[in-house]
Amino acid sequence: MKYKVMLVEDEQIIREGFETFINWNELGFEVVASLGDGREALRYLESNIIDLIITDIEMTFVSGLALAKYIYEKGLPIKVVMLTAYPSFDYLSECMNYKVEDYILKTASNTEIEGKLRIVFDRMEQERKENEQNLKLENWASDVVLFLKERFMNKLFAGYESKEDLVLDIKRSGIDIPFETTRIRLYSVDFLTGMSDINRYGYDGFRNIIHNFFDAYKSSTPFFYLIGEVVYILELCIDDIDVNDMEREFFDLFKVEIKIKKIAEFDNVFDVSSSKIAELNLNLSKDDKKDEARHYIISSAISYINENISDGISLEKVAEKIYVSPEYLSRLFKKEIGMNFKEYLIDCKMTKAMELLKDPRYKVYEISKMIDYKTVGFFSKVFQKYTGYTPTEYRRKHL
């Protein structure tokens, strides 16, 4: 990945020198904009994404300092490096206020400039990796909380053996309520437009949508969810939820019509017994629906792979397209197909290659590109390992 750079310098000869004589590609950068003033830079930022701005500290209309201040105050994820003819304490002090990364003297040699840019690149890479790690931790924490809430609801409907276990699971779910006095209400959510309209998100994707949507009302709840033919909401609060408002908002967001109805009420959490739940005759099994959702996810993934076999297919890209996490898709491939994603992708590519090799119109190097192998040598190596033949041998055998 190359970080996108914007150069802002009103002296054209200096700007062009930076563009021409710095080894941007080797440093991990790509110059995507070269502008003569901060005013042009502000306009460019309205519709373009930039990772690093290298700007003259003094310019006619909008200075580099004004540009840095704008980025700082807007909280934009853009690094700024200042260009200056001479280091001024007042300027550098103000730069620090706006979190400017560094400054570069216009008289510096190419070696000195590239040395500073390497340091900036390393900082950006470190920050990117930390952000990715933090995002993974946040997603993991969210998944854990959601799992604990769903497990609690399932166990509550099945019936707890002791109050101690019940209280422990509630606390694990991050809930702090007066157990003896809080009334409990149970609602069902019916999807009037049918689960087929929901399945485009995948089972995990839809579960997260439900979780996030109803969690927005946690000022008066919390909720717990069980996804099967219906979604059940367990409400622990004082006031009734505004059912009509929820139904309207869900439709506005997802264009899916729902109907929420209260089906039971209990004096406290300990009053929710398995016998009382049994009397409600609820459909609490989600295994069939999960099987259906898994089939939908796998079939969607396979269709996308087959249709885009030459376009740099990856686990992350496929997962993004079908609205599930890469980790979940990877586990699902292993469980449902019997091979991991990488093995399945190779299997698809080799199957496609064998089909194309039977057509004399295509040369071997063309087939290699058609299934996204950068070199014929690597393609031939993988193909021989998969079939026992080189591509040429396989073609002779089948033509």
Q: What is the CATH number of domain 3-108?
A: 3.40.50.2300
Q: Minimum mean pLDDT among 94-103, 121-130, 307-316: which range? A: 94-103
Superfamily of domain 290-398 in CATH is Homeodomain-like (1.10.10.60)
Mean pLDDT computed over 213-237: 62
CB contact at 8 A, 329 and 337: no
Task: Quote the CA–CA distance of 20 and 284 in Å, as a whole number.
Answer: 67
**Class of residue 79 by CB neighbours under 10 A (exposed 0-12, middle 13-18, buried 19+):** buried
For residue 367, the model assigns a pLDDT of 92
- The answer, yes or no, to whether residue 299 has pLDDT greater than 70, is yes
pLDDT of residue 163: 76
Q: Which contacts qualify for 305-308: CB closer than 8 Å, 24 or more apart?
A: 305/344, 305/345, 305/348, 306/348
Q: What is the DSSP string of 250-319?
A: HHHHHS--EEEEEEEEESSGGG--HHHHHHTT-----HHHHHHHHHHHHHHHHHHHHHTTTS---HHHHH
| pLDDT tens digits, one per residue of 67-90 | 888 888 888 888 999 888 776 656
Average pLDDT along the chain? 78
The per-residue pLDDT for range 344-381, each reduced to its tens digit, is 899 889 999 999 999 888 899 999 999 988 889 999 99
Kindly report the length of the chain: 399
Domain range list for the chain: 3-108, 142-281, 290-398
What average pLDDT score do residues 163-188 get?
74
Cα–Cα distance for residue pair 182/234, rounded to 1 Å? 12
Q: What is the CATH number of domain 142-281?
A: 3.30.70
Q: Residue 36 CB: number of other CB atoms within 10 A? A: 18
How far apart are alpha carbons 170 and 187 in whole angstroms?
19
Residue 227 has pLDDT above 70, yes or no: no
For the chain, give the percent of residues with pLDDT over 70: 76
Q: State residue 89's pLDDT score.
A: 58
Give per-residue pLDDT as tens, 244-291. 888 888 888 777 788 888 888 888 777 777 677 777 766 555 444 445
Q: Output the CA torsion sign for 145, 151, 157, 162.
A: negative
Q: What is the pTM of this model?
A: 0.45
Res 53: pLDDT: 92
| Least confident piece of the model among 149-163, 170-184, 188-202, 325-339 | 188-202
